[in-house]
Amino acid sequence: MRASSRGSPYMADRVHALRVRKNGKDLSMHLVVDAVVVRAGSSAIVIEHLLRGWTEAAPDDRVTVLVDEAGPVFAVPEGYPVVTVRPPVGGPAGAAWLRSFGVRRAARALHPDAVLAAVPATGLVGYGCPRGLILYDLRHELRPHQFSWRTRLSRRLSWGWTMSRADGIYTISERTLDDLRDRHPRLARNGVAAQLGADHVDGWPAVDTSQEAPYALAFGHFANKNADSVIEGWARFCTTDDRWRLRLVGMGSADLAAASDRVAALGVADRVELMPWLDDAAFQDVFAGAGLVIFPSDFEGFGLPAIEAMRLGIPVVVSDDPALAEVTGGHAAVARTTTPVDLAAAITEALAYPPAHLEAARRFTDGFAWRRTADVVRASLLEAR
């Protein structure tokens, strides 16, 4: 499999090859980050940690962050100014203006050396400098049934326009870069894999779980997370175990109602805790306190929870998704399918991992650092100058 064949040495060579030097020193730059359409979720998590990595990779760079009237939904490093872009009107017309003319006008006024869009849905045109964007995945093309026709159409038009005008398309994994090559080979000529980091969990507070029963953690949001299969597999596992509990987090009201009915029908209501969306602090506590993470997603652009778990020394169950294979490096229990029998078997396997296995998994995550993510993006933008 192409995605898993490239490890840390490849990425280190890539960074070295892309780095631009003048008189033996790295060039400094003024970067403008377009985050006007970033909302809470994956893109906010990525841009927050990427900016932190940038402070380590290039402390002499100037970095300005563009946001809308709601303000940043992620932490911005001290010393990075935030500029608010306001549309002249509200509604869809204002949103369209903001993504195109508004961002362009604000960026050009700052005279940057490069512009980086935090999401593909923006108008990368008319900046007069190199332009890059972060591409998370192409799930809307590869799993179209998981999206409405409006979302698919919107992404095809806006993402296609933006990517065709980018000097650099920074995919968050080798898997996403491979997908880009397969489906859009012309666009992939400007593609660079900038794998995400895992070292942000080093700052999560330790959690004392000695006074509670051990629990596994799984995720109930988005169709690709296979929450229904996790519940079925957990019920099967419970026939062989009477101690472990399951916490399923990130569930909306409709999902909670349906999951409650299913858990009751399977007779495991006392072994499953269904939880809504949590704020960052609560989520970190629940995650860090878990004794197992179950993540049999049927599609991932990267698979951050899997590598976060390994970084924290938590055994993890994954599917055979290419991105999950890439970020776990053979250190996770892989469920052959998402049937109850296979999931239960993978859960049992993961819980039997000895400390040496978990330590090897943790060491593997050392190759995924946010400073390196920033290095790859920065070097590419410098080369395009």
CATH number of the domain at 243, please: 3.40.50.2000
**Same domain, residue pair 244 and 355:** yes
| Tokens representing residue 101 in the block | 């003319």
In a shared domain, residues 247 and 179: no
pLDDT at 354 over 90: yes
pLDDT at residue 138 tops 90: yes
> Which amino acid is it at 237?
F
Q: Are residues 266 and 356 in the same domain?
A: yes
CA distance 104 to 162: 13
pTM above 0.75, yes or no: yes
- 131 in the same domain as 33: yes
Distance separating alpha carbons of residues 275 and 248, to the nearest angstrom: 6
Instruction: Compute the distance between CA of residue 341 and CA of residue 156 in angstroms, rounded to an integer.
Output: 38
Dump pLDDT digits (tens) for 220-231: 865 556 788 999
Q: What is the mean pLDDT of residues 244-260?
A: 87
Task: Identify the band that residue 148 occupies on the pLDDT scale cut at 50, 70 and 90.
Answer: very high
Identify the pLDDT of residue 225. Answer: 62
Q: What is the pLDDT of residues 299-313, one digit of tens each?
A: 999 999 999 999 999
Q: Do 294 and 378 reside in the same domain of the chain? A: no
d(CA 377, CA 168): 8
Q: Are 165 and 148 in contact (CB under 8 A)?
A: no
Q: Give residues with Cβ within 8 angstroms of 267, minimum separation 6.
A: 235
> Do 279 and 263 fall within a single domain?
yes
d(CA 225, CA 228): 9
Which pLDDT tens digit goes with each residue over 153-187?
Answer: 888 888 888 899 899 999 999 999 999 999 999 99
Residue 276 binned pLDDT confidence (cut-offs 50, 70, 90): confident
Are 17 and 157 found together in one domain?
yes
Shared-domain flag, residues 67 and 14: yes
Residue reference for tokens 């100037």:
62
> Which residue in 165, 180, 136 sits closest to 46, CA to CA?
136
Burial category of 181 from C-beta neighbours within 10 Å (exposed 0-12, middle 13-18, buried 19 and up): middle
At residue 329, does pLDDT exceed 70? yes
Residue 189 CB neighbour total at 10 angstroms: 10
Are 125 and 267 in a shared domain? no
Residue 261 is part of which domain span? 201-367
- pLDDT tens, 91-127? 888 888 888 888 889 999 999 999 999 998 776 667 7
Percent of the chain with pLDDT over 70: 91
Q: Is 214 left (phi over 0), alpha (psi -120 to 50) or beta?
A: beta
* 3-state SS class at 84: strand
Give the count of domains, the chain.
2
Whether residue 120 is found in the same domain as residue 242? no
Q: Are residues 117 and 213 in the same domain?
A: no
Q: Over 80: is that where the pLDDT of 3 sits? A: no
- What per-residue confidence (pLDDT) applies to 175? 98
DSSP result, 154-191: HHHHHHHHHHHT-SEEEESSHHHHHHHHHH-TTGGGGE
Q: Are residues 297 and 185 in the same domain?
A: no
Q: Where are the alpha helices (DSSP H) in the chain?
A: 8-18, 42-57, 91-97, 103-110, 139-142, 149-164, 174-183, 227-238, 253-265, 280-288, 304-311, 322-328, 340-351, 355-364, 370-384
